[in-house]
């Protein structure tokens, strides 16, 4: 308050009088005041034990604002140190450093903390939110909180140090092949451990939505385990089903070890939770433990082997030196086993097995005969196509859907938010991974409905509100059906017809439209693989009095051919059907005189399907290049691929010999185009040599005519210039190195 200042030697009475006056004025609000900031900064000489340098910032601690920022992200589940380090740098650059403030130095740990500093801060934030320092106790508290406000089902049992009990789940006789005797002894020793299943770690989880999908699509269930999802050696098992749009996990459990008893207990828990779940088939990896556990809980279910792991087992066995197979013999054996695997029916299977047993590699090697007879030919119903049940899951012959989910879990979810603890893994499963998969299933079902986007007018109404793969498949086969006519079709009885092949005169396919009890069927290979309407079925619908509604209602009402009404609103599935929609569709095609355009709302055409299949074949071909050991076959394939590339190049549209997309032409920009500035041309070695020669001749000529010039200095300058050029070149070489 400058208006009330007094001299330093003022008496006590004057000071008290002035203070009373100031108090009165403050109460009336008529005081003139000024703010003065006093800053005390220690001088450099105050630091007696070290010097003040740019590196002194390494001793600073993290700024409080950055601590709050890290805590905020950790509370959202983001614990990746590299990610948080980028967030901190951007925050310092955009928020803490304004234009009028000097930016902090890179050596200042207060604003640029190290990865270890951020890791420690993340650990402190996580520790502050834990109920206990023990991982299992913390998980127990979290599960109790999740159960209080959720319809999810949880079962958790922490592992204890009690003595093992003798209660064991009974093991059935071995009916599943192992790779060889060595592996068999190892698996027996692992599974025969006297574990106490009542005292081992077990976590089982299933949401309400997962339970619904398990009952709807659980006819075929895929089971697979994955490791390295936490810092513990705990296998995580996913039960996955193939839905109408994608693969979705329907249950997950974590066991202490991959043993028959532990897996059996988890499956029994899921069976209790889902009384209506009665799987007919299981798809699994090459694991005897998984097979025994599934067989204990579901003895009537058929267990199929993942085709990828089957061929992987063949490759590993043939490559072992102790089996004494040459590369040619190994390749021949695997090729014959593939023929056995892909045989369409039992007759083709018997022929393939006969060719295998008559081959030289089978007759000349006793170990080959023992291996195939004991481990593979004794259980063809688990890996041969001829013995697989025909249905909507016929195309599922591998565990690739589960492997894809495992990959996304390990490579994305756990890397971004995982801390390595089992609590973190379970929280990722419950809060992120499973909800995301359910959300994807719900989103795809809505996106394939007519409420998301209007269908193309050329797509018939009976294909509206169906899964995209079904629509694409049917449109393609309908286009192929244009090659048939009424003369190709003979009706045997009601709903049972013979369709003559358009390529072979003596070949006929049997089409059965089905009944309320029987499903739609066709004897062609396309239908047997996909179990979706083929071109022969659409030829019947196109050239006879039968229509789409005449197909078996049991077939059309399958959940694989419909969008899920339980996960999208009823309005999204509201269909305004027209009478005899298939006939209207055929009238449109007959007016145009051309095959129906297979263009849908997502630009899925016949050529799009062909492109996708070709890319899939190229991917398979790429994978086989790493497995094949035959140089001759590889060279033959190279020649074939070169011819195919040449044929495809002939179909590519070009403008000025430059490939362009169909429907697009080269567009000239109206803007002024800049031209590249000419570069200085470098002298060639010959030009440099000619220049040096002319220079020496000029010096000699000047000295001959008596020109007053110091030729020695000229030569010295030339040498110096050459030396400078040499050193410059050496420096450029060093930089390039």
DSSP per-residue codes, 284-297: E-S-HHHHHHHHHH
Q: Tokens representing 117?
A: 């500093």
pLDDT tier, 710 (very low <50, low <70, confident <90, very high otherwise): very low
Q: Please tell me whether residues 208 and 345 are part of one structural domain.
A: yes
Structural domain span for residue 111: 61-128
Using the Cα atoms of residue 587, residue 592, residue 598 and residue 602 in order, give the sign of their dihedral. Answer: negative
For residue 418, tell me if it sits in a domain.
yes
Alpha helices by DSSP H, listed for 161-207, are 181-191
Determine which helix (DSSP H) or strand (DSSP E) holds 338, and give its type and residue range. Answer: helix 327-341
Mean pLDDT, to the nearest integer, of 434-462? 88
Residue 265: per-residue pLDDT: 93
pLDDT tier, 37 (very low <50, low <70, confident <90, very high otherwise): confident
CB atoms within 10 A of CB 433: 21
Q: Which of 437, 435, 414 is nearest to 424 (CA)?
A: 414
d(CA 322, CA 320): 6
The DSSP secondary-structure symbol of 139 reads H
Q: Please tell me whether residues 503 and 530 are part of one structural domain.
A: yes
Q: Please tell me whether residues 623 and 593 are part of one structural domain.
A: no
* Residue 552 φ/ψ region, left for φ over 0, alpha for ψ in the -120 to 50 degree band, beta for the rest: beta
Q: Please tell me whether residues 505 and 583 are part of one structural domain.
A: yes
Q: Are 54 and 112 in contact (CB under 8 A)?
A: no
The structure tokens 């039960």 sit at 239
Q: Please tell me whether residues 593 and 536 are part of one structural domain.
A: yes
Contacts of 313 (CB under 8 A, 6+ apart): 179, 286
Contacts of 539 (CB under 8 A, 6+ apart): 481, 484, 488, 489, 499
Residue 679: per-residue pLDDT: 58
For residue 446, tell me if it sits in a domain.
no
For residue 146, tell me if it sits in a domain.
no
For residue 480, tell me if it sits in a domain.
yes
Residue 24: per-residue pLDDT: 84
d(CA 323, CA 333): 13
d(CA 44, CA 582): 91
Residue 193: per-residue pLDDT: 44
pLDDT at position 685 over 90 = no
Q: Are 112 and 89 in contact (CB under 8 A)?
A: yes
3 state SS for 296-313: HHCCCCEEEECHHHHHHH
d(CA 1, CA 249): 73
Contacts of 597 (CB under 8 A, 6+ apart): 458, 605
Give the burial class of 499: count Cβ atoms within 10 A of its Cβ; 0-12 exposed, 13-18 middle, 19 or more buried: buried
Residue 560: per-residue pLDDT: 92
Give the burial class of 216: count Cβ atoms within 10 A of its Cβ; 0-12 exposed, 13-18 middle, 19 or more buried: middle
3 state SS for 476-537: HHHHHHHHCCHHHEEEEECCEEEEECCCCCCCEEEEECCCCCCCCEECCHHHHHHCCCCHHH
Residue 166: per-residue pLDDT: 40
Contacts of 348 (CB under 8 A, 6+ apart): 386
d(CA 88, CA 106): 13
Residue 687: per-residue pLDDT: 66
Burial string for 20-36 (b: 16+ CB within 10 Å, else e) reads: eeeeeeeeeeeeeeeee
Instruction: Tally helices (H) and strands (E) across the chain.
Output: 27, 13
d(CA 234, CA 203): 11
pLDDT tier, 190 (very low <50, low <70, confident <90, very high otherwise): very low
Q: Tokens representing 265?
A: 């207990």
Mean pLDDT, to the nearest integer, of 700-723? 46
Query: What pTM was computed for the model?
Result: 0.64
pLDDT at position 576 over 50 = no
First to last CA, the chain: 71
Q: Please tell me whether residues 379 and 234 are part of one structural domain.
A: yes
d(CA 341, CA 117): 56
d(CA 109, CA 117): 9
The structure tokens 């385990």 sit at 225
Of 250 and 667, the structure prediction assigns the larger pLDDT to 250
Alpha helices by DSSP H, listed for 342-463, are 346-357, 360-364, 366-375, 400-408, 414-417, 422-428, 434-447
Mean pLDDT, to the nearest integer, of 604-611? 66
CB atoms within 10 A of CB 141: 13
Residue 522: per-residue pLDDT: 93
As for how many domains the chain has, the answer is 4
CB atoms within 10 A of CB 295: 20
Q: Please tell me whether residues 551 and 612 are part of one structural domain.
A: no
d(CA 153, CA 147): 7
For residue 137, tell me if it sits in a domain.
no
CB atoms within 10 A of CB 578: 12
Q: Which of 278, 273, 281, 280 is nearest to 251 (CA)?
A: 273
Least confident of 281-290, 414-423, 434-443: 414-423
For residue 5, tell me if it sits in a domain.
no
Q: Please tell me whether residues 482 and 417 are part of one structural domain.
A: no
d(CA 156, CA 163): 20
For residue 303, tell me if it sits in a domain.
yes
Mean pLDDT, to the nearest integer, of 373-385? 90
Residue 90: per-residue pLDDT: 86
Q: Please tell me whether residues 410 and 512 are part of one structural domain.
A: no
Q: List phi, psi (to 5°) of 412.
A: -125, -60
Mean pLDDT, to the nearest integer, of 610-633? 82
Find which of 9-23, 546-560, 621-635 is predicted with most confidence, using mean pLDDT: 546-560
**Per-residue pLDDT tens over the stretch 192-251:** 444 455 678 899 999 999 999 999 999 999 999 888 888 888 899 999 999 999 999 999
Q: Please tell me whether residues 124 and 212 are part of one structural domain.
A: no
The structure tokens 């085709």 sit at 307
d(CA 55, CA 541): 82
Q: Are 610 and 472 in contact (CB under 8 A)?
A: no
Q: Please tell me whether residues 368 and 466 are part of one structural domain.
A: no
List the Cα angle 77/78/80 in 5-degree steps. Answer: 140
Q: Please tell me whether residues 632 and 528 are part of one structural domain.
A: no
Q: Tokens representing 270?
A: 């899921």
For residue 281, tell me if it sits in a domain.
yes
* Residue 310 φ/ψ region, left for φ over 0, alpha for ψ in the -120 to 50 degree band, beta for the rest: alpha
Q: Tokens representing 157?
A: 């049992």
Examine the fold and report which residue of 581, 604, 627 is the final residue of a domain before the chain moves on.
604
pLDDT at position 401 over 50 = yes
**Per-residue pLDDT tens over the stretch 316-363:** 999 998 988 898 999 999 999 999 998 888 899 999 999 999 999 999
């Amino acid at each position: 308050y400058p208006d009330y200042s007094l001299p330093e030697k003022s008496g006590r009475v004057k000071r008290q009088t002035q203070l009373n006056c100031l108090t009165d004025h403050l109460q009336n609000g008529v005081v003139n005041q000024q703010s003065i900031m006093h800053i005390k900064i220690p001088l450099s000489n105050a630091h007696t034990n070290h010097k003040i340098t740019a590196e002194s910032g390494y001793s600073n601690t993290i700024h409080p604002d950055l601590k709050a920022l890290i805590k905020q992200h950790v509370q959202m589940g983001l614990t990746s140190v590299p990610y948080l380090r980028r967030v901190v740098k951007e925050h310092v650059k955009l928020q803490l450093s304004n234009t009028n403030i000097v930016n902090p130095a890179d050596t200042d740990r207060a604003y640029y903390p190290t990865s270890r500093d951020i890791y420690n801060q993340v650990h402190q934030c996580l520790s502050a939110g834990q109920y206990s320092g023990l991982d299992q106790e913390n998980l127990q508290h979290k599960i109790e909180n999740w159960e209080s406000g959720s319809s999810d089902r949880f079962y958790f049992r922490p592992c204890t140090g009690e003595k093992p009990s003798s209660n064991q789940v009974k093991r059935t006789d071995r009916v599943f092949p192992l790779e060889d005797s060595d592996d068999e002894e190892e698996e027996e020793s692992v599974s025969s451990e006297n574990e106490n299943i009542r005292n081992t770690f077990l976590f089982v989880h299933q949401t309400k939505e997962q339970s619904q999908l398990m009952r709807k699509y659980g006819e075929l269930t895929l089971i697979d385990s994955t490791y390295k999802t936490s810092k513990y050696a705990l296998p995580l098992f996913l039960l996955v089903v193939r839905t109408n749009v994608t693969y979705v996990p329907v249950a997950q459990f974590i066991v202490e070890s991959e043993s028959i008893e532990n897996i059996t207990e988890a499956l029994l828990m899921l069976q209790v939770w889902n009384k209506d779940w009665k799987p007919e088939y299981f798809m699994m990896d090459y694991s005897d433990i998984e097979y025994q556990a599934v067989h204990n809980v579901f003895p009537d279910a058929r267990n199929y082997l993942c085709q990828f792991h089957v061929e992987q087992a063949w490759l590993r066995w043939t490559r072992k030196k102790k089996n004494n197979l040459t590369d040619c013999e190994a390749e021949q054996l695997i090729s014959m086993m593939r023929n056995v695997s892909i045989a369409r029916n039992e007759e083709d299977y018997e022929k393939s097995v006969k060719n295998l047993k008559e081959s030289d590699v089978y007759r000349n090697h006793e170990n080959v005969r023992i291996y195939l007879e004991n481990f593979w030919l004794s259980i063809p119903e688990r890996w041969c196509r001829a013995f697989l049940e025909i249905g909507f899951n016929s195309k599922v012959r591998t565990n690739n859907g589960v492997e894809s989910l495992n990959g996304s879990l390990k490579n994305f979810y756990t890397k971004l938010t995982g801390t390595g603890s089992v609590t973190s893994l379970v929280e990722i499963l419950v809060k992120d991974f499973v909800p995301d998969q359910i959300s994807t299933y719900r989103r795809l079902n809505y996106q394939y409905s007519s409420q998301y986007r209007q269908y193309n007018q050329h797509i018939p109404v009976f294909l509206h509100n169906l899964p995209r793969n079904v629509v694409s498949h049917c449109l393609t086969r309908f286009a192929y059906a244009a090659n048939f006519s009424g003369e190709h079709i003979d009706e045997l009885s009601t709903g049972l017809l013979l369709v003559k092949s358009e390529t072979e005169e003596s070949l006929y396919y049997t089409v059965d439209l089905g009944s309320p009890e029987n499903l739609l069927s066709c004897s062609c290979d396309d239908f047997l693989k996909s179990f979706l309407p083929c071109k022969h079925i659409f030829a019947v619908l196109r050239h006879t009095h039968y229509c789409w509604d005449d197909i078996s209602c049991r077939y059309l009402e399958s959940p694989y051919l419909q969008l899920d009404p339980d996960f999208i609103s009823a309005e999204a599935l509201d269909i305004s059907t027209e009478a005899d929609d298939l006939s209207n569709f055929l009238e449109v095609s007959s007016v145009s005189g051309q095959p129906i355009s297979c263009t849908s709302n997502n630009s899925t055409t016949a050529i799009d399907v062909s492109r996708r299949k070709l890319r899939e074949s190229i991917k398979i071909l790429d994978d086989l290049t790493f497995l094949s050991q035959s140089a001759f076959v590889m060279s033959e394939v190279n020649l074939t691929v070169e011819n195919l590339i040449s044929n495809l190049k002939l179909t590519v549209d070009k403008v000025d010999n430059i490939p362009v997309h169909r429907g697009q032409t080269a567009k000239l920009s109206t803007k002024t185009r800049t031209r590249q500035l000419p570069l200085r041309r470098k002298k060639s070695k010959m030009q440099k040599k000619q220049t040096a020669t002319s220079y020496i001749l000029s010096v000699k000529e000047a000295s001959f005519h008596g020109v007053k010039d110091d030729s020695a200095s000229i030569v010295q300058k030339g040498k110096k210039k050459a030396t400078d050029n040499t050193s410059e070149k050496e420096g450029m070489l060093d930089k390039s190195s």
